């Protein structure tokens, strides 16, 4: 019997790969209809072809790479023919294997050549390394395949009638480590469903016994199958391809099912909790078809989305005779085409992830070249939509989208799913990108973001309405029903108005309940057990004399009217103060200083390079280099000028580094990142937070220094999660440097307040009553406070939340009151009456609220004053840090 398997070569017309499978008897047509898929093992190879003593070599430090290869050609626009694996031997040479494990050549690098840039030629082929395979499981699979298998790559096992289908290998087996599934139906598989309403289990839910088509994978043959939920009327079970499901972590299985339910319009009962293990019978209401996956960074949103895309491209719960072969094998999935829109810097990352998890010879991915003309782009898009089997996924940058909208509009109904990565970009209802996306006729949408929707309900409405148009009514209704009552309840003047408070709380709960249907957010803690421990270190760095002088002189001469100060009128001064925190030398180029201060005050004496944070940074880098020579450091700043200063310091202290900022061309980024992750001598990576924070994988480093902070905590969080992510092997240290008592600290405190607020909304249902619609953290008093320089404090943040002595204590709830007292001047023992009186003051209430919000984010941190002796100090490379006045340290090991 001949079973078709569709192999879509990325840059070629697809081929139907006719594969023979042997059994001793052919099944009857009815048997064929019901037979399960058989998961076949990896190809076996003869010892003669075996990579020489792989395991031994691995122990000696050989490395594995995924490769792409093609026949040699003189064509101008070359494309790749297939994937494979390379082994870098201990002598530096490379041995190349096709994805079925066949050895096909070897090559070596010339002096100074970059292994990822080099195109090797051997056996009539051109080969390029794609990425290093570091995952232990993957490496051991490769060792197994390349090292211990027997040769039968071209062996075709023929089916024989009526017998169990034998396992064999194919002439086109996929990437190493991947199991081949043959679409052969048997009678064995009877899925068990849970009825989500009643919690009872049944083997034939609703009309399931009327299912006419067998699933393409047999769950009984798959270890830990991932079976999608179903609905009455479904004709076929949908099971995630085991080549992907075997990699998914528990939270990712739940995530894939959640997204599937949303885009399929399946409604979960409100109390429904999916463990990702059972398939449930849900109601198909089509009320929602858009999904917001707002998991924190690093949880693998890309892999989850790839699993969804691949499932929908290959399978459908409602096949028909026309869309299946005579054996009931689906010839097409629910979606023919998928559109992925993302920031341009992430296009390569998406493609790499598709390649990593599926291999690019399984799926056709089209990306538009950033250099091509709008005309060419339109042509490519039209071809993508019209030509059936060459490409299934189009990955586009948001910027390109506008130039191809018209072409997409013409055939957008053929796109079955749209994915918007870093989707918080769409929160502005007036944006052209949003209207371009809205003009496409695509109902199934997935929006990915690691950034919480920051308490702005107007922006949240924009995103909700984009995903599921009209689900919350129109904007005026939403404003009336949710924004107004929630905002009113937040107003301090209504704090004791019970009616307003109750209404606000009810509306908040209602909103959370309504959006829960299509919103999923999990925190980074979910994945922490799969990662090495992480230690967060907040270092308060003593400002230098010239920094303090600079603050004072500028404040005196700025002549700010503090009673009428507004965020916009003070923005330039805020920026100047932030620069002084980094290095007073930045003042001399600052436009506010040049225009308003320079003529009034002579600051020449305090324009030196030196700053508290630079001193701490340099000492930290020296400590790391001498005590942990294997480790690398990422240094992040929001300012390229600051990066320039740090770059000079690195150069004069002979630290080898590389750098990525807004001026780095997109095509260079990948090479820079790869070089940093792989070249041992590169010690530091200078990164601009805004231009490079998103999507980068810098797991070559295990330490990261956040030199300054942004108002938006999401930007800092993005940057910080570049090293502590899947693939990281070493314990990680994240250092945040703050100038003690200065604007740095105030920004940090506001960030923590923002994080607390958004956490309440997005994640913590219990405290959802505290949702605040308007994140108005900039009242006049706050602004005044920003410019206050507290020279006597060791940490203003610590003063705010705690009154301990900085000897490894942790903050606890009970300490907030004490801290509040300290801040309001009520030091020492105070009678209950006095305390009551002072707490009634509006001012102290505000401080208490601020302290509570800040404290919420700092629970579990150890408080350490002037780095009192403690074992973490040496692990964190903080010995002899005389410029650190205080530290908060939290280790995930605690
Ligand atoms: N189950 C897994 N096993 C091994 N590696 C994984 C797994 N899931 C994800 N990864 C890897 O973890 C890294 C982070 O994943 P990914 O970029 O998808 O996270 P994310 O949630 O999109 O984060 P961000 O918002 O920062 O981009 C990637 O290199 C990815 O290949």
In angstroms, the CA 99 to CA 596 distance is 66
The verdict on residue 818 lying in a domain is yes
Out of 132, 527, 725, 729, mutate this one to test ligand 1's pocket (max ligand atoms within 8 Å of CB): namely 725
pLDDT cut 70: percent of the chain above it:
71
Query: Is 235 in contact with 213 (CB distance < 8 Å)?
Result: yes
How close are the terminal C-alpha atoms of the chain, in Å? 60
pLDDT over 50 (residue 473) = yes
Are residues 838 and 757 part of one domain?
A: yes
CA-nearest residue for atom 4, ligand 1, is 726
Q: pLDDT per residue over 278-307, tens digit each?
A: 788 888 888 889 999 999 888 999 999 999
Token code pair at residue 521: 């957010």
419 lines ligand 1 (CB under 6 A): no
pLDDT over 50 (residue 24) = no
| pLDDT range class, residue 575, cuts 50, 70, 90 | confident
Q: Which residue has the tokens 């200065």?
A: 742
The verdict on residue 158 lying in a domain is no
347 lines ligand 1 (CB under 6 A): no
Return the ∠ at Cα 78 (arms to 74 and 79), rounded to 5°: 145
pLDDT for res 326: 64
pLDDT for res 148: 42
| pLDDT range class, residue 190, cuts 50, 70, 90 | very low
Q: Which residue has the tokens 């003063």?
A: 799
Are residues 690 and 808 part of one domain?
A: no
Q: pLDDT per residue over 716-764, tens digit each?
A: 777 778 898 888 999 999 999 999 999 888 888 887 776 665 554 444 3
Contacts 24+ apart (CB under 8 A), 60-65: 60/90, 61/90, 62/87, 62/88, 62/89, 62/90, 63/87, 63/88, 63/132, 64/88, 64/132, 64/133, 64/138, 64/139, 64/142, 65/94, 65/115, 65/129, 65/130, 65/131, 65/132, 65/133
pLDDT for res 79: 66
Q: pLDDT per residue over 203-261, tens digit each?
A: 444 334 456 788 888 888 888 899 999 998 888 889 999 999 999 999 999 999 999 99
Backbone torsion region of residue 829, taken as left when φ is above 0, otherwise alpha when ψ lies between -120 and 50, otherwise beta? beta
Residues spanned by the domain of 347: 335-471
Are residues 463 and 341 part of one domain?
A: yes
In angstroms, the CA 734 to CA 703 distance is 6
Å from CA of 590 to ligand 1 middle = 40
Query: Is 294 in contact with 450 (CB distance < 8 Å)?
Result: yes
Are residues 639 and 711 part of one domain?
A: yes
Which residue in 793, 795, 785, 789 sits closest to 742, CA to CA?
789
Å from CA of 805 to ligand 1 middle = 40
pLDDT for res 635: 96
In angstroms, the CA 607 to CA 550 distance is 8
Are residues 859 and 779 part of one domain?
A: yes
Q: Which residue has the tokens 């929001």?
A: 638
Å from CA of 750 to ligand 1 middle = 29
CA-nearest residue for atom 12, ligand 1, is 726
245 lines ligand 1 (CB under 6 A): no
CA-nearest residue for atom 27, ligand 1, is 695
Residues 656-680 have a mean pLDDT of: 89
Q: Which residue has the tokens 């990281």?
A: 728
Beta-carbon contacts of residue 362 (< 8 Å; ≥ 6 apart): 7, 8, 174
Cα dihedral sign, 554-558-563-564: negative
Atom of ligand 1 nearest to the CA of 249: 1
Which residue has better confidence, 771 or 641? Answer: 641
pLDDT for res 694: 65
Beta-carbon contacts of residue 390 (< 8 Å; ≥ 6 apart): 8, 11, 12, 13, 14, 364, 383, 384
pLDDT for res 846: 67
Residues 444-473 have a mean pLDDT of: 87
In angstroms, the CA 643 to CA 637 distance is 6
The CATH number of the domain where 64 resides is what? 2.30.29
How much helix, strand and coil, in percent to the nearest 5, is found in the chain? 40, 20, 40
Å from CA of 299 to ligand 1 middle = 6
727 lines ligand 1 (CB under 6 A): yes
- Mean pLDDT (the chain) is 75
pLDDT for res 831: 43
Query: Is 200 in contact with 278 (CB distance < 8 Å)?
Result: no
Instruction: Tell me which of 104, 122, 148 is where a domain ends.
Output: 148
Query: Is 748 in contact with 581 (CB distance < 8 Å)?
Result: no
Beta-carbon contacts of residue 673 (< 8 Å; ≥ 6 apart): 660, 696, 697, 698
Instruction: Tell me which of 510, 530, 550 is where a domain ends.
Output: 530
The verdict on residue 511 lying in a domain is yes
The CATH number of the domain where 411 resides is what? 3.40.50.10810
Which residue in 153, 155, 152, 187 sits closest to 22, CA to CA?
155
pLDDT for res 555: 80
The verdict on residue 394 lying in a domain is yes
CA-nearest residue for atom 5, ligand 1, is 726
pLDDT for res 56: 45
Out of 249, 726, 727, mutate this one to test ligand 1's pocket (max ligand atoms within 8 Å of CB): namely 726
298 lines ligand 1 (CB under 6 A): yes
The CATH number of the domain where 677 resides is what? 3.40.50.300
Using the CB atoms, write b or e for 863-893: b if 16+ within 10 Å.
bbbebeebebbebbbbeebebbbbbbbbbbe
| pLDDT range class, residue 158, cuts 50, 70, 90 | very low
Are residues 777 and 721 part of one domain?
A: no
Which residue in 627, 619, 633 sits closest to 733, CA to CA?
633
Instruction: Pick from 6-15, 181-190, 877-886 the range whose average pLDDT is largest.
Output: 877-886
Element containing residue 834 per DSSP (H, E): helix 832-840
In angstroms, the CA 322 to CA 324 distance is 6
Return the ∠ at Cα 398 (arms to 394 and 403), rounded to 5°: 80
In angstroms, the CA 748 to CA 821 distance is 21
Beta-carbon contacts of residue 306 (< 8 Å; ≥ 6 apart): 244, 353, 354, 357, 358
Are residues 664 and 644 part of one domain?
A: yes
Token code pair at residue 222: 């798959």
Å from CA of 293 to ligand 1 middle = 14
| pLDDT range class, residue 495, cuts 50, 70, 90 | confident
Q: Name which of 343-357, 567-581, 785-799 the model is least confident about.
A: 567-581
Are residues 519 and 417 part of one domain?
A: no
pLDDT over 50 (residue 530) = yes
Q: Name which of 249-263, 505-519, 830-844 the model is least confident about.
A: 830-844
In angstroms, the CA 699 to CA 730 distance is 9
Instruction: Tell me which of 705, 729, 753 is where a domain ends.
Output: 729
Å from CA of 297 to ligand 1 middle = 8
Instruction: Pick from 93-97, 137-141, 630-634 the range whose average pLDDT is largest.
Output: 630-634
ipTM: 0.98
Å from CA of 179 to ligand 1 middle = 22
Residues 760-771 have a mean pLDDT of: 37
pLDDT over 60 (residue 49) = no
CA-nearest residue for atom 24, ligand 1, is 297
Number of domains in the chain: 5
Q: Name which of 101-110, 423-432, 488-497 the model is least confident about.
A: 488-497
In angstroms, the CA 421 to CA 301 distance is 9
pLDDT over 70 (residue 657) = yes
pLDDT over 80 (residue 43) = no
Query: Is 324 in contact with 211 (CB distance < 8 Å)?
Result: no
CA-nearest residue for atom 11, ligand 1, is 726
Beta-carbon contacts of residue 751 (< 8 Å; ≥ 6 apart): 709, 710, 711, 712, 713, 716
The verdict on residue 93 lying in a domain is yes
In angstroms, the CA 309 to CA 339 distance is 10
Beta-carbon contacts of residue 76 (< 8 Å; ≥ 6 apart): none
Q: pLDDT per residue over 583-615, tens digit each?
A: 998 888 887 777 776 666 676 766 777 899 999
- Other beta carbons within 10 angstroms of residue 489's beta carbon come to 25
Can you tell me whether residue 738 is helix, strand or coil?
Answer: strand
The verdict on residue 859 lying in a domain is yes
Instruction: Pick from 2-6, 453-457, 840-844 the range whose average pLDDT is largest.
Output: 453-457
Residues 861-880 have a mean pLDDT of: 79
Cα dihedral sign, 860-865-869-873: positive
Q: pLDDT per residue over 82-92, tens digit each?
A: 778 889 888 88
Helices within 60-148 (DSSP H only): 136-148
The verdict on residue 675 lying in a domain is yes
In angstroms, the CA 730 to CA 561 distance is 51
- Other beta carbons within 10 angstroms of residue 751's beta carbon come to 23
Are residues 490 and 403 part of one domain?
A: no
Are residues 375 and 400 part of one domain?
A: yes
Are residues 759 and 666 part of one domain?
A: no
The verdict on residue 659 lying in a domain is yes
In angstroms, the CA 18 to CA 3 distance is 6
pTM greater than 0.80 (yes/no): no
Are residues 765 and 791 part of one domain?
A: yes
Q: Which residue has the tokens 């607020």?
A: 757
pLDDT cut 90: percent of the chain above it:
29
């Amino acid at each position: 019997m001949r079973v078709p398997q569709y192999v879509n070569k990325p840059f070629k017309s697809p081929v139907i790969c006719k594969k023979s499978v042997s059994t001793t008897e052919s099944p009857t047509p009815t048997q064929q209809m019901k037979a399960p898929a058989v998961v076949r093992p990896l190809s076996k190879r003869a010892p003669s072809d075996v990579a020489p003593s792989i395991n031994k070599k691995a122990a000696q430090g050989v490395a594995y790479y995924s490769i792409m290869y093609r026949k040699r050609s003189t064509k101008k626009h070359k494309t790749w023919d297939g994937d494979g694996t390379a082994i870098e031997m201990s002598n530096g040479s490379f041995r190349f294997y096709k994805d079925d494990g066949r050895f096909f050549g070897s090559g070596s690098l010339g002096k100074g050549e970059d292994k990822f840039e080099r195109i090797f030629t051997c056996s009539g082929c051109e080969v390029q390394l794609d990425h290093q395979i570091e995952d232990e499981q993957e490496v051991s699979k490769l060792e197994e395949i390349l090292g211990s298998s027997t040769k039968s790559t071209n062996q075709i096992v023929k089916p024989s009638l009526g017998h169990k289908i034998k396992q064999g290998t194919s002439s086109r087996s996929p990437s190493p480590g991947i199991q081949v599934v043959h679409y052969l139906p048997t009678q064995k598989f009877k899925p068990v469903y849970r009825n989500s309403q009643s919690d009872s289990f049944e083997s034939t839910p609703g009309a399931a016994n009327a299912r006419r088509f067998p699933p393409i994978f047999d769950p009984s043959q798959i270890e830990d199958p991932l079976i999608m939920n179903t609905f009455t009327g479904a004709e076929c079970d949908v099971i995630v391809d085991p080549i992907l499901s075997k990699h998914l972590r528990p939270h990712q299985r739940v995530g894939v099912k959640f997204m599937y339910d949303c885009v399929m319009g399946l409604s979960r009962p409100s109390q429904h909790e999916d463990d990702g293990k059972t398939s449930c019978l849900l109601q198909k209401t089509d009320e929602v078809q858009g999904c917001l996956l707002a998991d924190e960074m690093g949880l693998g949103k890309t892999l989850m989305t790839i699993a969804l895309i691949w499932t929908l491209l290959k399978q459908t719960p409602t096949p028909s005779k026309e869309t299946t072969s005579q054996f009931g094998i689906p010839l097409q999935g629910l979606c023919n085409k998928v559109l992925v829109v993302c920031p341009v810097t992430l296009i390569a990352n998406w493609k790499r992830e598709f390649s990593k998890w599926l291999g690019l010879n399984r799926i056709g991915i089209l990306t538009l070249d950033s250099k091509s003309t709008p005309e060419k782009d339109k042509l490519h898009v039209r071809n993508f939509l019209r030509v059936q089997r060459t490409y299934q996924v189009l990955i586009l940058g948001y910027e390109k989208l506008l130039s191809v909208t018209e072409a997409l509009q013409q055939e957008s109904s053929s796109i079955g799913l749209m994915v918007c990565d870093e989707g918080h970009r769409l929160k502005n209802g007036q944006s052209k990108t949003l209207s371009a996306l809205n003009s496409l006729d695509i109902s199934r949408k997935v929006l990915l973001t690691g950034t919480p929707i920051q308490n702005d309900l107007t922006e949240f409405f924009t995103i909700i309405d984009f995903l599921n148009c009209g689900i919350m009514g129109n904007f005026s209704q939403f404003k009336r029903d949710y924004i107004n009552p929630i905002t009113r309840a937040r107003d301090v003047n209504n704090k004791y108005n019970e009616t307003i408070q109750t209404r606000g709380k009810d509306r908040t709960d209602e909103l959370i309940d309504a959006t829960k249907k299509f919103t999923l957010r999990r925190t980074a803690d979910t994945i922490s057990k799969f990662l090495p421990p992480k230690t967060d270190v907040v270092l308060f760095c003593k400002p230098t004399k010239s920094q303090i002088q600079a603050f004072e002189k500028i404040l005196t001469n700025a002549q700010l009217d503090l009673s009428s100060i507004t965020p916009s009128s003070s923005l330039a001064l805020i920026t100047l103060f932030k620069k002084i925190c980094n290095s007073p030398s930045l003042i001399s180029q600052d436009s506010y200083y040049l225009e308003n201060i320079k003529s009034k005050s002579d600051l020449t004496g305090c324009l030196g390079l030196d700053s508290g944070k630079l001193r701490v940074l340099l000492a930290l880098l020296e400590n790391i280099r001498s005590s942990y020579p294997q480790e690398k450091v990422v240094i992040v700043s929001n300012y390229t000028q600051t990066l320039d200063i740090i770059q000079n310091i690195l150069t004069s202290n002979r630290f080898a580094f590389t750098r990525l900022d807004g001026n780095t061309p997109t095509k260079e980024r990948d090479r820079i990142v790869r070089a940093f992750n792989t070249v041992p001598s590169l010690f530091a990576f200078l990164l601009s937070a805004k231009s490079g924070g998103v999507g980068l994988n810098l797991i070559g480093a295990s330490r990261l220094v956040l030199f300054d902070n942004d108002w938006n905590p999401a930007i800092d969080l993005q940057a910080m999660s570049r090293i502590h992510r899947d693939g990281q092997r070493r314990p990680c240290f994240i250092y945040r440097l703050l100038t003690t008592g200065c604007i740095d600290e105030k920004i940090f405190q506001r960030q923590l307040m923002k994080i607390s607020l958004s956490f309440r909304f997005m994640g913590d249902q219990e405290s959802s009553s505290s949702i605040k619609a308007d994140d108005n953290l900039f009242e006049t008093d706050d602004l005044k406070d920003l410019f206050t320089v507290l020279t006597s404090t060791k940490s203003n943040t610590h003063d705010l939340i705690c009154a301990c002595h900085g000897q490894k204590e942790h903050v606890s709830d009970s300490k907030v009151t004490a801290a509040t007292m300290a801040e309001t001047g009520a030091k020492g023992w105070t009678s209950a009456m006095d305390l009551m009186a002072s707490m009634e003051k509006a001012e102290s209430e505000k401080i208490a609220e601020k302290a509570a919000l800040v404290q919420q984010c700092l629970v579990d941190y150890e408080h350490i004053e002037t780095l009192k002796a403690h074992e973490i100090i040496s692990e964190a490379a903080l010995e002899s840090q005389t410029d650190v006045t205080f530290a908060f340290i939290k280790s995930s090991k605690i």
